[in-house]
């Protein structure tokens, strides 16, 4: 089967600042929570840090040339807040703005549309020291930071994403602590979630003020596809709870101007939500020109069985503190079937289900896949090539699943593959490879994997090649 996605469909790839840039002390950049966290023994596998990463900061023009050779129509990158404001407030650093301004110019010169994310997890450490996302002030500072970036790049960048995966920032950062800053404070995590929603709203105003109707405002969520293990009431309720604290906690304040009543009830023993001030939900209720969807895998949950050992294979790393605030009785079942190197199950039908579900809930809302891809333990063959058929199959099947959702009516505008190149995979350091371009971390050499050639063929035709098409990968 060869599906045609049409000429307007935006094909691209994604990265994030801390994961690829390196040069963490250059250009006056301040420290972020990930610099501090990765330098703390035991937090990141083998003590890896983003100090060098893929050295993109120094190799940016060559990397953009590579994107052009791949035929990308769009490139999603993030701006490192501490490059713009080293301590999270005050005037913008010229060197920081200049780096992103040059990146944007290179992209436009190569015919590639920039898709800018303002926050992909690098909070200035000084703001964490002042309370971090559980503190309201951080949201206000984010609005100011957004205005500085809009002011500098809004003449050339039209696609603005405020936050990447605020669920991870709030609940992995402040509840389970497997991500920076590594705190384990359930009430603080809920306050962080609200302040991230508020930050989205304030940054959204900056985008609308700066660009008016020219701008496309977006928010990227890692929406969880949570299936109940059975139709028993307890299992259905487990799925409802996780949907509330993973998905609706962000969707509803932004798209409906409310918090879900069931979420407030589920978490009443943890917090009284008094951090939500009068008028906040008017600020968060920005609407969106396009919702960014990150999807990798699905999950199965059930009500924990009293007296039985409880599995918590939620795919977000081991911690004695749960990210699932207000859901102590929910169990995540072990994953089955083929797994990626992250231990995540491969479930393209979850992608279709997610997109069709969003379309039914918000029929007018355009959608964009802002991340999808897979980590596998790639090896360099004696011929110097990286043959990664499992990644090709994964991307093929998920793009097909996007096509299925479009046939069912979902308004999907594009697909941005995670990731353009291997990079620093957070708590797993350089031990997980998501790129279609391989990075040799000794030499920093870039090598096209077979998946890169395959993706180039997909982009150039707008049709889905077979995962084993012999004509796609050159000899
Ligand atoms: C997402 C992150 C991204 C990358 C992928 C694998 O949660 O947004 O930075 O790490 O997972």
What is the per-residue burial (b if ≥16 Cβ within 10 Å, else e) of 168-202?
A: bbbbbbbbbbbbbbbbbbbbbbbbbbbbbbbbbbb
pLDDT of residue 2: 60
The answer to whether residue 331 is catalytic is: no
In total, how many domains does the chain have? 1
pLDDT reported for residue 139: 99
Report the CATH number that the domain containing residue 187 is assigned in CATH: 3.20.20.80
Interval between CA 232 and ligand 1 midpoint (Å):
33
**Which whole number is the average pLDDT over 145-162?**
98
Residue 7 has pLDDT above 80, yes or no: yes
Distance 173 CA to ligand 1 centre (A): 14
Does residue 4 lie within any of the structural domains?
A: no
**Tokens coding 431:** 């031990």
Q: Which residue's alpha carbon is at the smallest distance from atom 9 of ligand 1?
A: 16
State mean pLDDT over 175-187. 98
Asked if the structure places residue 475 within a domain, the reply is no
Q: Is residue 466 in a domain?
A: no
Q: Beta strand 10-14 with 74-78: parallel, antiparallel or unpaired?
A: parallel
Active site residue 144: no
Measured from the Cα of 19, ligand 1's closest atom is 9
The domain in which residue 67 lies consists of 10-461
Question: Which residue is closest in CA terms to ligand 1's atom 10?
Answer: 425
Within-domain flag for 1: no
Cβ of 165 below 6 Å from ligand 1: yes
Mutate to test the pocket of ligand 1, among 418, 419, 431 (most ligand atoms within 8 A of CB): 418
Core vs surface per residue 380-405: b (16+ CB within 10 A) or e: eeeeebbbbebbbbbbbbbbbbbbbb
Q: What is the pLDDT of residues 398-429, one digit of tens each?
A: 999 999 999 999 999 999 999 999 999 999 99
In-domain check, residue 469: no
Ligand 1 geometric centre to CA of 76 (Å): 13
Is 176 touching ligand 1 by the criterion CB < 6 Å? no
pLDDT single digits (tens) 241-253:
999 999 999 999 9
Q: pLDDT at position 240, please? A: 98
Asked whether 122 lines ligand 1 (CB < 6 A), one says no
Q: pLDDT band at residue 201, thresholds of 50, 70 and 90?
A: very high
């Amino acid at each position: 089967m060869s599906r045609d996605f049409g000429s307007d469909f935006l094909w691209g790839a994604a990265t994030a600042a801390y994961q690829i840039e390196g040069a963490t002390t250059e250009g006056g950049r301040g420290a972020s929570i990930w610099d501090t966290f990765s330098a703390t023994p035991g937090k990141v596998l083998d003590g890896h840090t983003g100090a060098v990463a893929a050295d993109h900061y120094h190799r940016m023009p060559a990397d953009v040339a590579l994107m052009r050779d791949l035929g990308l129509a769009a490139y999603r990158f993030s701006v490192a807040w501490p490059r713009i404001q080293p301590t999270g407030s005050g005037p913008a650093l010229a060197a920081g703005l200049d780096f992103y301004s040059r990146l944007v110019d290179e992209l436009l010169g190569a015919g590639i549309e920039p898709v800018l994310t303002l926050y992909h997890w690098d909070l200035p450490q000084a703001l964490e020291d002042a309370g971090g996302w559980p503190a309201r002030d951080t949201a206000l500072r984010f609005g100011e930071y957004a205005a500085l970036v809009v002011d500098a790049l809004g003449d050339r960048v039209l696609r603005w994403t405020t936050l990447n995966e605020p669920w991870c920032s709030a609940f992995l950062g402040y509840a389970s602590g497997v991500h920076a800053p590594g705190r384990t404070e359930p009430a603080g995590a809920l306050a962080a979630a609200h302040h991230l929603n508020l930050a989205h709203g304030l940054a959204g105003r900056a985008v609308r003020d700066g660009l008016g109707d020219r701008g496309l405002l977006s928010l990227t969520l890692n929406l969880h596809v949570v299936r109940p293990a059975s139709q028993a009431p307890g299992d259905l309720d487990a799925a409802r709870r996780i949907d509330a604290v993973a998905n609706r906690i962000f969707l509803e304040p932004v798209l409906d101007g409310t918090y879900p009543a069931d979420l407030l009830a589920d978490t009443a023993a943890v917090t009284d939500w008094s951090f939500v001030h009068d008028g906040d939900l008017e600020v968060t209720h920005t609407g969106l020109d396009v919702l960014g969807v990150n999807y990798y895998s699905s999950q199965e949950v059930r009500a924990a069985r009293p007296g039985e050992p409880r599995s918590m294979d939620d795919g977000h790393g081991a911690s004695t503190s749960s990210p699932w605030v207000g859901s102590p009785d929910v169990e995540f079942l072990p994953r089955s079937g083929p797994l990626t190197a992250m231990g995540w199950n491969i479930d393209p039908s979850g992608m279709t289900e997610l997109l069709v579900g969003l379309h039914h809930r918000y029929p007018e809302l355009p959608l964009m896949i802002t991340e999808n891809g897979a980590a596998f333990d790639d090896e360099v063959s004696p011929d110097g090539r990286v043959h990664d058929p499992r990644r090709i199959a994964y991307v093929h099947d998920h793009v097909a699943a996007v096509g299925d959702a479009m046939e069912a009516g979902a308004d999907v505008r594009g697909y941005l593959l995670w990731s353009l190149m291997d990079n620093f995979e957070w708590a797993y350091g350089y031990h997980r490879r998501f790129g279609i371009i391989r990075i040799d971390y000794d030499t920093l050499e870039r090598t096209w994997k077979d998946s890169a050639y395959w993706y180039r063929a997909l982009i150039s035709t707008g049709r889905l090649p077979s995962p084993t098409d012999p004509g796609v990968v050159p000899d």
